[in-house]
Structure 1
Amino acid sequence: MLLDVTAFASTHPNPVLEAFGALENGSRTVISAPATLSADQTAFHATLDRMAGGVGDPGTSGPISLTQPAAITHVTQRVPLSELPSLRGLSLLQQLALLDRSDMSRFASDHPGVLKTLASRPPAATVVDAWWTGIPAAKQRDLATAAPGVVGNLEGVPYAMRDRANRTYLSDSIRGIRDQMRAGTGRAAGDDLTRRLHMLEQVRTSLQDGSSSEPRALIGLDPSGEGTAVITVGDVTTADYVGYLVPGMFSSVDTQIVKFAASSQQIASDQQAMLDRLEPATATRPTPTVAVVAWLGYHSPGLANVETLDLAKQAEAALTSSVQGLRAIRGPHQPFISVMAHSYGSTASLLAVQSGGLSVDALAIVGSPGSPAQSASELSVTDGNVWVGQAASMDPVPATGLFGSRPTDPAYGAHLFGTAGATDPLTGGWLTAAVSHNDYFVPGTESLRNIELIGIDRADLVLGLDRAK
């Protein structure tokens, strides 16, 4: 079950007003660069990076962004090893791929901060995809071994390789924390290590296949601080339908990743059962397949930091990058992509599809505190396939519109789906109501059933259908 207690966790006389803030605008400068970088051009690239404060990499969201064509010509001229720490983005990736295994390992050991910056500010997924496919398989394996935290989080690297790298990164991180604890620390540092160790062990637990035996993969991991993690259920490389599940407030990796992965599996299993019923395999056509992404790729807010959209903007950038990574990997064989988002996560998702950087085939939001867009027509969602649900009796959050327009309003132009309970015409069973802010993804509810149908492009079977007028 997803957990978001925005409306109920505060002692403020108006907890919803206390919980949400306002959007601020930013600006960005784009500098174009050639696809082929000589040694001199690499040095020029590094100079630009330093001038930009280290944010001059393709695909970043900083004030200066260096863009390059997707067609990458791989460099063959090495720069001195001592100069690599000054490089960023594609330049650094290209040079790392020229190192032998021992030099890769030595660089990773000597310059963890450089690799952390690379992982947090990578090139665009299409650039990474072109670079990765152009280096030998042996070099790919060496990079994944020497720098698992980089390879595991690079959008554009195949998911199977990212899963292997991130599992190595996870094990290395757990071992490193245990070594620190054995060496002895102060009380505060020891408490932090204990918390981080528990968080990473929760990630490890969440990777265990559930009852459906759908494979799980770890395609994103940041073991520092509050942490982030992205886990797939099913094969996103081949699935016909891929859904991103985006949580709201109080959804930390430490407390929620195991439940969140289970919720994603529930959705994937339900959707596959629906497809088996609706589109059974024939001699010439197999039943379509499903994968769901348990996307905890941002730090969701608590009471101390929910008053602004800062974390929503971070989530906007991260979710956009994640979906762009899927599109880069899938190439001409694109799946039907949906986003299923709750509460604060819905506002982050709305920001992403409003910005133009993210385009999806369906968007289903519940318990939403508002949209910066004035209407669904401003969103990059195929055919206006924007859906919204509200548990009207016990969820006050959607009525506030504190982040802008209210998606539940008729003027917004979204499709409304039922949450109050109904008989399922497919099974004849009773679907229960989503009573409060945290009930939308409870198994057996009308709300979850409708969200699942939206994710497999079966809007014709959604219950409580009502185009807002």
Structure 2
Amino acid sequence: MDIKTLHDAGFGNLTTAKTAFDTLATAFGQHVENWQHDVVDRLNHSEWTGTAAGHATTRIQTLHDELHAAQQEIGLISRALHDAAEGFAAAQAHLISALDDAKAQGLTVAPDGGITWDNDPNSLTFAGHGAPEHAKDIRDRISAALTEADHADRTISKRLAHFTTNASNATGLDSTVATNDTAAANALEQVPAAGTDPNSVQDWWNGLTDEQQRRMILNHPDQIGNLDGIPATGRDQANRINLQRSKDTLQRQLDALGPEPDMFSGGADSNGIPVKNSHYDDWKKQHDDLVDQMNGINAIEKRLNTPVDDAHPPTFLLGFDNAGHGHAIVAVNNPDTATNVSTYVPGTGARLGSISGDIDRSDAMVASANAANRKAGDFTTTTSSITWVGYDAPQNLVPQAADDTYAKNAEDKLHGFEVGLHATHQGNIANNTILGHSYGTTTIGYTMKDKGLPVDNVVLIASPGAGVDTARDLHIDPSHVYAAQSQADMIGMAGAVDPGGLADNFWDNLKGEYGFGDDDHHLIHGRQTTVPEFGANVLPTDPNAGHSDYWNNGSPTLAAMGQVIAGR
């Protein structure tokens, strides 16, 4: 598709053809009705019996089914032509808009897409000092419009070719084929249910024209934004809508709460102790929860709107809702186009309101991976790090962080997300890493143990146990399992509670007293991931690092994470 072809294209013939097929479908439908009334019904109510009558009834019913199937196929061709006209018209409108804006800004667009302008400040037609930036924007918009037209052309051509084949070989007369074709056409207008296989979702999405995709985003952002198998750019557009809607709703709820009530009612009990206002605690809890979520939204907005530079790559909002404590998935760099992709799963306390620090960690890991690549002389490889707060994480150490239910409940969500990354990636992901911190490692471990994950590496930072006894139980080559835990990290005090772990710890302690202990140790969710018996590669740490210090500037663990993510 080129500029002139799209600009000059007339879609009247498509509309005319669509109208003709509508007319044909109506006339054909009337013919089917007449056939039903004049032939089928009469035969069924006749008194004709016998072998010949049976054969005739069967053949006539078959013919009736074939006529009905043909009517359905004719109607589906009309729908395809409508979608074609709509898709091409939208692409053409976007192209014309870009060309009109170029003319208004003093830019000249050549037929091959080249853009020139008057660069003389003393000239009456001087395009201005911002011309280079304007030209880049126009060039991008023209390219997007041509790509949109190409996509519409491929999509509609495939659909029409299918119906042409059905008509030429008579498969379109099969009622099962017509029913399946109708279901497929209807499915294009319906968002797949949550939990649908991401590869099927991707096939559905690719079957839509760009204009249909835009409508889905605008009309169903809550479904599209959180659906694995939708490309990152589409999810991002939908979730920005979700983000703004949730922000408006939260603000209305905050306003409705009114001012903070007095903590005490003004009276005192028999002991002279002030009586607490019964409404204060309820107000305080609601207020603090709303403010916490609003803080998370503001942090996401701030990062999304940060000007792009070397230290701040573009970000994409791949998931968002404010149910419960809220969820969000934020990618630094586009995971669909990045060479290497890493997903970071935070642990206890992870929620919408605390996501700011987790996004900072993704920024740090991208920078660390870039540093590893530059050190190897590679200045072209790109890395995306995704902060995945897509599950309900425990919010306190006791009792929630001791409960593996949070990890088990996250398995389907994490598995679907990782499969979705491969479904939407442009080509194969060169190096795919899953990385968790604290309870996030438990979530990863349970998912890998029970469902497997399509990843090349797993990194377990400050793990209280990954729900498995050895690295090989994660269903990945143990040489690609990495773990880190500082000797100053108090997570090492999260002792086992299960009988097996308690027995192993008792036995190891007993051996230690006699000088032949091997430091094997079980924590609350399984064997410590840094002991030799677990079988992971142990990453370097700052011996004084606390539980949340592994991403500090200069941290040897952060440098090692970058090397793993970069495949170095």
Q: TM-score, normalised by structure 2?
A: 0.55
Aligned counterpart, 1:79: none
2-structure distance, mates of 1:93, 1:320: 27
Residue 419, structure 1, aligned to residue 541, structure 2: yes
- Is the CA contact (8 Å cut-off) linking 1:226 and 1:299 kept in structure 2? yes
Aligned counterpart, 1:445: 555
- Is the CA contact (8 Å cut-off) linking 2:344 and 2:362 kept in structure 1? yes
Aligned counterpart, 2:47: none
Identify the structure with the greater helix proportion.
2
Aligned counterpart, 1:299: 392
- RMSD of aligned C-alpha atoms? 3.1
Amino acid at match of 1:410: P
Distance 1:288 1:358, change over 3 A: same
Aligned counterpart, 1:20: none
Aligned counterpart, 2:43: none
Which range moves more in the overlay, 152-161 or 350-359?
350-359
2-structure distance, mates of 1:93, 1:214: 39
Aligned counterpart, 1:407: 529
Which range moves more in the overlay, 236-245 or 196-205?
196-205
1-structure distance, mates of 2:209, 2:220: 16
2-structure distance, mates of 1:302, 1:94: 45
Residue 280, structure 1, aligned to residue 402, structure 2: no
Aligned counterpart, 1:250: 349
Query: Which string of whole-angstrom CA distances, capped at 9 and with x for unpartnered residues, describes residues 229-282 of structure 1?
Result: 01000121111111111111112220x21121111111101211221221335x
Residue 98, structure 1, aligned to residue 189, structure 2: yes
Residue 308, structure 1, aligned to residue 406, structure 2: no
Residue 379, structure 1, aligned to residue 474, structure 2: yes
Distance 1:132 1:170, change over 3 A: same
Aligned counterpart, 1:127: 200
- Is the CA contact (8 Å cut-off) linking 1:365 and 1:387 kept in structure 2? yes
Residue 176, structure 1, aligned to residue 270, structure 2: no
Kindly name which structure, 1 or 2, has the bigger radius of gyration based on alpha carbons: 2
Aligned counterpart, 1:457: 567
1:435 shift after superposition: 2.2
Aligned counterpart, 1:137: 210
Aligned counterpart, 1:32: none
Aligned counterpart, 1:43: none
Query: Which string of whole-angstrom CA distances, capped at 9 and with x for unpartnered residues, describes residues 302-354 of structure 1?
Result: 23422311111223322211111101112642231112211111111111222
- Is the CA contact (8 Å cut-off) linking 2:242 and 2:321 kept in structure 1? no
Residue 228, structure 1, aligned to residue 327, structure 2: yes
1-structure distance, mates of 2:558, 2:530: 17
Query: What is the percentage of aligned positions where both structures have the same residue?
Result: 25
Amino acid at match of 1:385: H
2-structure distance, mates of 1:96, 1:145: 18
2-structure distance, mates of 1:94, 1:416: 53
Amino acid at match of 1:449: A
Higher relative contact order (Cα pairs below 8 Å, separated by 6+ residues): 1
Aligned counterpart, 1:368: 463
Distance 1:215 1:434, change over 3 A: farther
Equivalence map 1:13-28=2 (5 Å): none
2-structure distance, mates of 1:438, 1:275: 25
1:152 shift after superposition: 0.8
- Is the CA contact (8 Å cut-off) linking 1:279 and 1:288 kept in structure 2? no
Aligned counterpart, 1:10: none
Q: TM-score, normalised by structure 1?
A: 0.65
Secondary structure at the counterpart of residue 294 of structure 1 = strand
Equivalence map 1:57-206=2 (5 Å): 95=186, 97-98=188-189, 121-182=194-255, 188=283, 191=287, 192-206=289-303
2-structure distance, mates of 1:262, 1:318: 23
Distance 1:180 1:445, change over 3 A: closer
Distance 1:146 1:400, change over 3 A: same
- Is the CA contact (8 Å cut-off) linking 2:488 and 2:544 kept in structure 1? no
Counterpart selection for 1:270 from 354, 360, 368: 368
- Is the CA contact (8 Å cut-off) linking 2:229 and 2:423 kept in structure 1? yes
- Is the CA contact (8 Å cut-off) linking 2:411 and 2:451 kept in structure 1? no
Secondary structure at the counterpart of residue 230 of structure 1 = strand
Query: Which string of whole-angstrom CA distances, capped at 9 and with x for unpartnered residues, describes residues 80-101 of structure 1?
Result: xxxxxxxxxxx999747437xx
Secondary structure at the counterpart of residue 388 of structure 2 = strand
Secondary structure at the counterpart of residue 410 of structure 1 = coil
Query: Which string of whole-angstrom CA distances, capped at 9 and with x for unpartnered residues, describes residues 85-119 of structure 1?
Result: xxxxxx999747437xxxxxxxxxxxxxxx9xx77
Distance 1:262 1:446, change over 3 A: same
1:202 shift after superposition: 2.9
1:445 shift after superposition: 0.9
1-structure distance, mates of 2:464, 2:302: 32
Counterpart selection for 2:338 from 218, 224, 239: 239
Distance 1:317 1:236, change over 3 A: same
- Is the CA contact (8 Å cut-off) linking 1:216 and 1:231 kept in structure 2? yes
Unaligned runs of 5+ in 2: 1-71, 73-158, 164-181, 259-278, 495-520
Aligned counterpart, 1:207: 304
Residue 327, structure 1, aligned to residue 422, structure 2: yes
- Is the CA contact (8 Å cut-off) linking 2:370 and 2:566 kept in structure 1? no
Query: Which string of whole-angstrom CA distances, capped at 9 and with x for unpartnered residues, describes residues 17-72 of structure 1?
Result: xxxxxxxxxxxxxxxxxxxxxx9xxxxxxxxxxxxxxxxxxxxxxxxxxxxxxxxx
Query: Which string of whole-angstrom CA distances, capped at 9 and with x for unpartnered residues, describes residues 192-223 of structure 1?
Result: 54444333223322323376130001001112
Aligned counterpart, 1:343: 438
1:184 shift after superposition: 6.3
Secondary structure at the counterpart of residue 248 of structure 2 = helix
Amino acid at match of 2:220: A
2-structure distance, mates of 1:220, 1:197: 16
Secondary structure at the counterpart of residue 354 of structure 1 = helix
1-structure distance, mates of 2:295, 2:187: 33
2-structure distance, mates of 1:225, 1:92: 36
2-structure distance, mates of 1:385, 1:302: 30
Unaligned runs of 5+ in 1: 1-38, 40-72, 77-90, 100-114, 282-286, 421-432, 459-469
Amino acid at match of 2:441: S
Amino acid at match of 1:197: M
1:293 shift after superposition: 0.5
Secondary structure at the counterpart of residue 352 of structure 1 = helix
Amino acid at match of 1:205: K
2-structure distance, mates of 1:340, 1:308: 20
Aligned counterpart, 1:466: none
Query: Which string of whole-angstrom CA distances, capped at 9 and with x for unpartnered residues, describes residues 371-417 of structure 1?
Result: 32231122233463001111113432475422122222212211112
2-structure distance, mates of 1:313, 1:348: 7
